[in-house]
Chains A and B, each alone.
Chain A
Amino acid sequence: MLSFLGPQMNSVYNACSWLDFAFTIAESMGIHRSTSSLGVSTKDKGRVKRLWWTLAVRDAYCAALLGRPFRINIPQCDVSMLELEDFASEFADGQNQDSAFYQIEVARLSIIARAIIQRRFHSSDVYVDLTDLQEDLQAWRSQLPPGLTLQGSTSNKNIFAVSLELLYHQHIILLHFDRANCPSSSSMSRTANIASASSATVAAQAIASSASSLVTNHMTSRLPHEVFMGFFISGIVYYRQINSSDPLVSQIARASLDNCRMLLHEARDAWDLAHWSIRIFDFLLSRAQDQALTVQAEKAPVDDHTSDRAASNVFGEDISGLHQQDLSMDPLDFADLPDLSIPGTFDDFLLMPNFFLPSA
């Protein structure tokens, strides 16, 4: 539970070390082995399996977000996958089965997530083909219980259905994210690269478009923390498109990026890394604006009308004189909102994976 604060990686006690403590204790109790289920009651068997897979899920998404190695080596652990009977003692009355199905599906998805993340390290012995992983994701999604899909759910406020949908799209983005860094990318056909970028954009669109409804329906504080990374990486996808030569694409990308920033801002006090995510985008956008100013100054004198429209970004910097196109899309000014204090230190940022710097 203590891993839900931080990461505060400059401290001995941080999200990763709390998970480490939990893994160490769990291993000391034998929870990582199927043998541990031997002899314990059904209720206790279910409890230890739920505990183990919760740790495994947290480990997977902690590694995905921070770029750290996995703490749990799944092939060395032979705990069987969660199933409905592991929740029998908790939801004996048949109520809240969605909760059980949700956790089962997230555990299954975390296995795919591990393969996607391992693919980033380009290790030959764990490298899984992109097409195979995409098929796995689609198969996982197609096998979701009807009540856990947005199509099958009776309400678009079903937190489990919404979370699984967000997680699916988040994985699609992660899968197609680092094609520029992938050693095989140079040999990839242009068509494949375009298709990959398109898949990431469609997934980012699905995530960004959900932001406003989540905020207006006050669902942000109810979301599992694993989904917040999706808004961060969707923002990165859209940041890359802001510099598109097509003004329409650029403007839509900026609006969608602001959608993601809006949700991250809403979640910032519950999910601490949102602070850094917001500041990263602020930094990149301010740099892009500086570059635009430089280009404009080289091309023509600054237009007086434009320079009169003084404005400031979230850092309080004077951004008057921006290109007319930039000013027509006022960014969300989160500095107007209270409490932008950031927990942790800059070390936290340095420990985040290199999601998008190559393209920045």
Chain B
Amino acid sequence: MDGKNDCILVDSQRGLYQRVGRHRAQSNRSRTPVEAPAAVDSGTDRSSVLTIPSSDGPVLSRRLRYGATHSDLPGRSLAGMFEDFVEERERGGMGIILFGEASPLTFALEEHTGDQACFYDARPTLSSNKQLVDRPREIHPPHCSSEDIAYLVAKGAFTLPDPQTFQVYFDTFMTRFYPLYTIVNRSELLEAHNRNTLPWIMLHGICLIGATFCDASVIHRTNYKSRAEARQAYYRRSIWYSQTFKNPNY
């Protein structure tokens, strides 16, 4: 299929895999933990009434569902092949993203049994975002008109604190917020910061978080009367920006 000689046919396992947490809905709150596949080493084998997702269990379940590990995968996912078929990918995607959920859209596509393709290939979406580092901040989204940009300039959405204050906010973000909520990749964020390519929405978010978690003395050195006022200012800039651009990548 699609020029791949190593493709094989497998039986569909749809509906046969075990979903995490299903037993929680049972009225009889048995304390018997979910019966995990024998091969799974969860590493979190506490006997509990609650199903705390294990580290590997769901992955194994998904393998049953799709019958392949990544190393076995052909180059194109089923959803990707469908996008190619309708020639929508080049035009920015279909606007419908299919992960193999229990929906009629999925069921219909799964009627295609020609190869062992996984349903959806997440790699293009979830791989490290080089744009974060490479894209100059001055380049605005193509769909944003000059009027939108003029509006944002007038509202102050492209305004940052003085470099010294921003650096304190950034340091606060990295030393106080990041250890509690490690939601970014440290090296990528630092590189983008050093190259001045952090997106505006990220900059305002860092200012908001920095003003929230910094010492009060930092706020006193700014023109804001209070921490609350500073946070509101940064928050408003984020809203103006996100309202206008509506694209998390910018």
Say how far B97's CB is from chain A's closest CB, in angstroms: 5
Indicate if the CB atoms of B214 and A221 lie closer than 8 Å: yes
The answer to whether the Cβ of A37 comes within 8 Å of any Cβ in the partner chain is: yes
Indicate if the CB atoms of A221 and B216 lie closer than 8 Å: yes
Knowing A83-B55, A132-B29, say if A218 contacts B215 (CB, 8 Å). yes
With a cutoff of 8 Å between Cβ atoms, the chain A residues found around residue B184 in the complex are 47
Say how far A256's CB is from chain B's closest CB, in angstroms: 25
Indicate if the CB atoms of B183 and A54 lie closer than 8 Å: yes
The answer to whether the Cβ of A251 comes within 8 Å of any Cβ in the partner chain is: no
From B20-28, B82-90, B159-167, the one touching the partner chain is: B20-28
Bound form: Cα–Cα A119–B61 in Å: 29
Q: Which A residue's beta carbon lies closest to that of B239?
A: A13
Bound form: Cα–Cα A36–B126 in Å: 8
With a cutoff of 8 Å between Cβ atoms, the chain B residues found around residue A143 in the complex are 46
Bound form: Cα–Cα A232–B122 in Å: 42
Indicate if the CB atoms of A44 and B238 lie closer than 8 Å: no
Which residues of chain B from 196 to 250 have any CB-CB distance to chain A below 8 Å in the complex? 205-206, 208-209, 212-216, 225-228, 231-232, 235, 238-239, 248
With a cutoff of 8 Å between Cβ atoms, the chain B residues found around residue A40 in the complex are 122-123, 126-127
Q: Which B residue's beta carbon lies closest to that of A47?
A: B185
Say how far A129's CB is from chain B's closest CB, in angstroms: 6
With a cutoff of 8 Å between Cβ atoms, the chain B residues found around residue A338 in the complex are 226
With a cutoff of 8 Å between Cβ atoms, the chain B residues found around residue A129 in the complex are 29, 49
Knowing A90-B182, A124-B27, say if A80 contacts B231 (CB, 8 Å). no
Bound form: Cα–Cα A5–B229 in Å: 11
With a cutoff of 8 Å between Cβ atoms, the chain B residues found around residue A133 in the complex are 49
From A25-33, A236-244, A296-304, A309-317, the one touching the partner chain is: A25-33
Q: Which A residue's beta carbon lies closest to that of B218?
A: A221
Q: Which B residue's beta carbon lies closest to that of A110?
A: B52
With a cutoff of 8 Å between Cβ atoms, the chain A residues found around residue B183 in the complex are 47, 50-51, 54
Indicate if the CB atoms of A81 and B97 lie closer than 8 Å: no
Indicate if the CB atoms of B127 and A80 lie closer than 8 Å: no
Say how far A73's CB is from chain B's closest CB, in angstroms: 9
Bound form: Cα–Cα A206–B56 in Å: 36
Say how far B216's CB is from chain A's closest CB, in angstroms: 7
The answer to whether the Cβ of B105 comes within 8 Å of any Cβ in the partner chain is: no
With a cutoff of 8 Å between Cβ atoms, the chain B residues found around residue A249 in the complex are none
The answer to whether the Cβ of A68 comes within 8 Å of any Cβ in the partner chain is: no
With a cutoff of 8 Å between Cβ atoms, the chain B residues found around residue A221 in the complex are 176, 212-216
With a cutoff of 8 Å between Cβ atoms, the chain A residues found around residue B187 in the complex are 89
The answer to whether the Cβ of A150 comes within 8 Å of any Cβ in the partner chain is: no
Interface bracket on A: 35 or more
Indicate if the CB atoms of B53 and A80 lie closer than 8 Å: yes
Indicate if the CB atoms of A33 and B99 lie closer than 8 Å: yes
Indicate if the CB atoms of A35 and B228 lie closer than 8 Å: no
Q: Which B residue's beta carbon lies closest to that of A50?
A: B182
How does the 8 Å CB contact mask read for A233-267 relative to B, with 1 for contact and 0 for none?
00000000000000000000000000000000000
Interface residues on chain B, number (Cβ under 8 Å): 73
The answer to whether the Cβ of B43 comes within 8 Å of any Cβ in the partner chain is: yes
From A95-103, A173-181, A196-204, the one touching the partner chain is: A95-103
With a cutoff of 8 Å between Cβ atoms, the chain B residues found around residue A136 in the complex are 48-50
Indicate if the CB atoms of B182 and A99 lie closer than 8 Å: yes
The answer to whether the Cβ of B137 comes within 8 Å of any Cβ in the partner chain is: no
Say how far B67's CB is from chain A's closest CB, in angstroms: 12
Indicate if the CB atoms of A75 and B24 lie closer than 8 Å: yes
Indicate if the CB atoms of A30 and B122 lie closer than 8 Å: yes
Bound form: Cα–Cα A78–B238 in Å: 32
Contact of A38 among B19, B24, B50, B122 (CB under 8 A): B122
Indicate if the CB atoms of B231 and A269 lie closer than 8 Å: yes
Say how far B74's CB is from chain A's closest CB, in angstroms: 12
How does the 8 Å CB contact mask read for A270-290 relative to B, with 1 for contact and 0 for none?
101000000000000000000
Knowing A75-B21, A80-B58, say if A108 contacts B52 (CB, 8 Å). yes
With a cutoff of 8 Å between Cβ atoms, the chain B residues found around residue A13 in the complex are 239
Indicate if the CB atoms of A75 and B25 lie closer than 8 Å: yes
Q: Give 9 nearest A-B pairs by CB, closest first.
A: A75-B21, A269-B227, A78-B58, A99-B179, A1-B205, A34-B58, A132-B49, A269-B228, A39-B123
B residues sitting closer than 8 Å to A (CB atoms) are: 19-22, 24-27, 29, 31, 43-44, 46, 48-59, 61-62, 66, 69-70, 73, 97, 99-100, 118-123, 125-128, 176, 179-187, 205-206, 208-209, 212-216, 225-228, 231-232, 235, 238-239, 248
A residues sitting closer than 8 Å to B (CB atoms) are: 1-2, 4-5, 13, 25, 28-31, 33-41, 43-44, 47-48, 50-51, 54, 74-75, 78-81, 83, 87, 89-90, 96, 99-100, 102-103, 108, 111-112, 115, 124-129, 132-133, 135-136, 139, 143, 159-160, 163, 218, 221-222, 224, 268-270, 272, 338-339, 341, 343
